[in-house]
């Protein structure tokens, strides 16, 4: 069974009331990266290819910083720190406004015990402007049995040690 938005919000830091939805919490854009070098996924190890953070533009004096993205694939980092509670699994879905603008957000399962500022793969099929802080994804939590909790190499990703 999926949990309510207010329950999910208890496990996401730095949210405001507008981000809490009936069945989840909206995650916002913190940064966009372009992969520059190949990565590697082996049987026993992995290596993330070198990335470059893209620069934002200031489209108006009072407007937030904005990314102008052309067609292609980008790694997006969410601004919020997520903590997946015991007996749950997290799923990230794209906001429908991305889909309506010819963009797709690909994500993975977030296991019980994961803590960090996660990332997703944004596929842009037609040029788009996205402001920093824009809501791009929704986290939902479902009850789940599990054997142990997440202790992989992405634990604490994109979070300063004093935040974790």
Dump pLDDT digits (tens) for 89-133: 999 999 999 999 999 999 999 999 999 999 999 999 999 999 999
Domain ranges of the chain: 5-37+59-143
Residue 2: DSSP 8-state: B
Give me 7's structure tokens. 């329950």
Residue 76 in contact with residue 136, Cβ under 8 Å? Answer: yes
Residues forming beta bridges with residue 25, ordered by sequence position: 20, 139
- Per the CB < 8 A criterion, the answer to whether 28 and 136 are in contact is yes
What pTM was estimated for this model as a whole? 0.92
For residue 53, give both structure tokens. 């953070």
**How far is C-alpha 2 from the geometric centre of its chain's CA atoms?**
19
Strand 128-131 relative to strand 57-58, pairing: unpaired
d(CA 111, CA 150): 6
Alpha carbon dihedral 67, 69, 75, 77, in 10-degree steps, equals: 20
Q: How many CB atoms lie within 10 A of CB 27?
A: 28
User: What does CATH list as the number for 5-37+59-143?
Assistant: 2.70.40.10
Mean of the pLDDT values across residues 34-62? 90
φ, ψ for residue 99, nearest 5 deg: -60, -40
User: What pLDDT score was predicted for residue 34?
Assistant: 96
Taking 70 as the threshold, does the pLDDT of residue 164 lie above it? no
Q: Pick the more confident residue, 152 or 30.
A: 30
d(Cα 6, Cα 120) in Å, to the nearest integer? 23
106: tokens are 């690909």
Average pLDDT of every residue of the chain? 93
């Amino acid at each position: 069974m999926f949990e309510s938005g207010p329950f999910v919000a208890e496990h996401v830091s730095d949210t405001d009331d507008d981000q809490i939805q009936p069945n989840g919490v909206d995650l916002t854009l913190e940064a966009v990266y372009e992969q520059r070098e190949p990565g590697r996924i082996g049987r026993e190890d992995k290596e993330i290819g070198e990335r470059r953070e893209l620069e934002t533009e200031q489209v108006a004096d009072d407007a937030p910083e904005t990314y102008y993205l052309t067609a292609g694939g980008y790694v997006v980092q969410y601004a919020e720190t997520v903590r997946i509670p015991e007996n749950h699994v997290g799923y990230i879905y794209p906001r429908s406004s991305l889909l309506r603008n010819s963009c797709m957000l690909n994500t993975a399962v977030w296991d019980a015990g994961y803590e960090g500022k996660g990332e997703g793969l944004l596929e842009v099929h037609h040029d788009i402007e996205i402001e920093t802080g824009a809501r791009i994804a929704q986290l939902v939590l479902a009850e789940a049995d599990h054997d142990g909790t997440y202790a992989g190499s992405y634990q604490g990703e994109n979070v300063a040690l004093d935040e974790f």
